[in-house]
Structure 1
Amino acid sequence: MTISQPSTSAKPWDTPDAVPFMQIKNITKKFGSVSAVENVSLDVYKGEIFCLLGGSGCGKSTLLRMLSGFEVPTSGQIIIDGEDQAGVAPYDRQTNMMFQSYALFPHMTVEKNIAYGLKRDGLPRREIATRVTEMLSLVQMDGFATRKPHQLSGGQRQRVALARSLVKKPKLLMLDEPLGALDKKLREETQFELIKIQESLGVTFVVVTHDQEEAMTLSSRIGVMNRGEIVQVGTPHEIYEFPRNRFVADFIGSVNLFEGRIKEDGENHVVIASPEAGTDIYVPYAVSGVEGQQIAIAVRPEKMEISKAPLDDMRNTVSGTVDEIAYMGNVSVYHVLLDSGKRVRVSQSNRTRSNEDAPTYGDRVNLGWAGRAGVVVTA
């Protein structure tokens, strides 16, 4: 399937002659007969914030541990800045890792926690002091140098752990669920701070997370993992708007999936017969498939219109009854039971303080979406 996308300025991953900063080539990691990571290949470019996104047990943390040297691949190759990492111990790699638990030394002050790695490397006192001061300023912890971890908030401990990870000037920093211990509001604020810090230093970040919103906010690109494999790599926009398969469409954000079969396979359109929708669905672009093939159309809730009045200007429409409403402040999410028996979600922006025409519980409603609002997925 080919769908035209908005043109953007060339990025390293779109440039054929660009040299990846990190290359993962056919990496596999087995624990006994179980493959935690299966034949993964991936290129990451200098200065990227690359996120590995997936659910628990998908292999993302195992892949991160192989990059850092804490796990040895069963097969495959890891190259960082042109150097093969085979046989290179974690402490000899030009990388560093920030753990989910932050792993700060409780008996040491903030200053000593940050300086620990530099002292182990035998750097002169003056250089250590200079670097620690720079890091404290970078993470906005200047006035906390003499405090110990138990005297800090979760967000402050996160900043100290980040400063300790960056003070050795690694070529590559790996972050394992870096914001998982923070509450929602602090996590949102810290995401943008992390981006600013990364941009100011130019260090390449590889972030492991199960939080979709975090991955979408932080990353230049995302690698979605499932069962030890990377099933799609792309920018946040590409991953969300153009999922390659059912798993990615369903895993990233909310989506309505209408199963069906290709009824009409035209040169520049297809028609999908969908018992779940209770109607035929028109798609105004060609797809790779044949008549009778099982297929699905994925439509995001925010791309669907909901109205008590007919939606005569919409090519694709279905009808049903409002079953549940979730008021989220900025949006309202409607759960609608279609006449076909399928439940779908529709989100509507709350642009005004009150809307007397908005559907309520038990209302009969019509749902509609533009032809290109849906994405066809086949696997």
Structure 2
Amino acid sequence: MTALADEAARLLETAAHAARLAARDLAVAPRPQRDAALLAAAATLRTRAEAVLAANAEDLAAAPDLTAAFRDRLALTPARVEAMARAVEEVAALPDPVGRVLSEWTRPNGLVIRRVAQPLGVIGMIYESRPNVGADAAALCLKAGSAVILRGGRESLRSALAIHGCMVAGLREAGLPEASVQVAPTSDRGFVAAMLRAAGLIDLIIPRGGKGLVERVQQEARVPVLAHAEGLCHTYIHAAADPAMARAILANAKMRRTGVCGATETLLIDAAIAPTLLPLLVVDLRALGCDFRADDRAREILPELKPATDADFATEWLDAILSVKVVDGVQDALDHIARYGSEHTEAIVTQDEAVATRFLGNLASAVGMWNASTQFCDGGEFGFGAEIGIATGRLHARGPVGPEQLCTFRYQVIGSGQTRP
């Protein structure tokens, strides 16, 4: 190990030990105390908004060569700071996920068995440079009674520290341990490596970012991982779609924010309606600044579209680029999604309920939408207040991850003197 790696490991161990002690207090802290910390943090985000924005401006100025999509993810505005504060308040207003009786049953011998929700413990959050993720993750972990160690992208370190200061102010005001929410004290990548090796200190790692980040975490982690794969989302416009609805949904699904994981990256459109509807869709999106990569059948209708390669259909653009494919019905659309998709979010636009039911029932993806934009795949829109990420794996949680999904469970067994024969 290098001296830098040794120092990063030491810093992580110190942070994790403090987090474990804080997690013990959080696990038994009553809901009013945890909620008071969140409300105080939200108020501090508002009172310190100018300082948060100034820190973010320094981050942006220090990284002038970022792509437009990356800058959009990194940038904060007064509206985005206000949205962070509101999200923290919305998390506070949610029901308490800790201590819920998930199920209860009585055995023939009279034993009463309860499955009860409990905090996970210490969560490690590794994310790229989207500052609001730190506030969302801190709020959700506190609501779920767990401590969290946050490690954001180095480009957002000043923003992360400013937001962290607001969360700590809330903890302090509510009398909860300040170590309940910590930010990596260094931008050295050795800190991430130390987090991934911290079995016994960190209970769950959640990566949130691009494909490269998630793959690295999955390959190197010695700690359980709640994976958030890339968002290669599809919108399928079926032959029975309402044209006006299809145009509105696709424009929003692709162009509302191109850099978010719920943005549609591929349009699938039925051959029966493509000759009339596809030109209108292209006009709509071009007016919003979108470019296209189209298959041969789409280019027969619109020859000026750039040809799509196989790799294009496997690309999460996170930009104003849309892959386009003409398909022969719902099964063809499902087959394409199964081949190229990342099991994040898919949408169908149709007035045919039977087709929609078939589409939704045959998806492997975490979220399926019917007549709605894929950009609704969001914890706030799902009523979770915020989200710590979109889980696309097959275990524990899927889709937007809110407070309930950040709990595990234990069993309580109540007897009346039973002994086992």
Give TM-score scaled by structure 2 length.
Answer: 0.29
> Highest CA radius of gyration, 1 or 2?
1
Bigger RCO (CA 8 Å, 6+ sep):
2
Larger fraction in strand: 1
Give TM-score scaled by structure 1 length.
Answer: 0.31
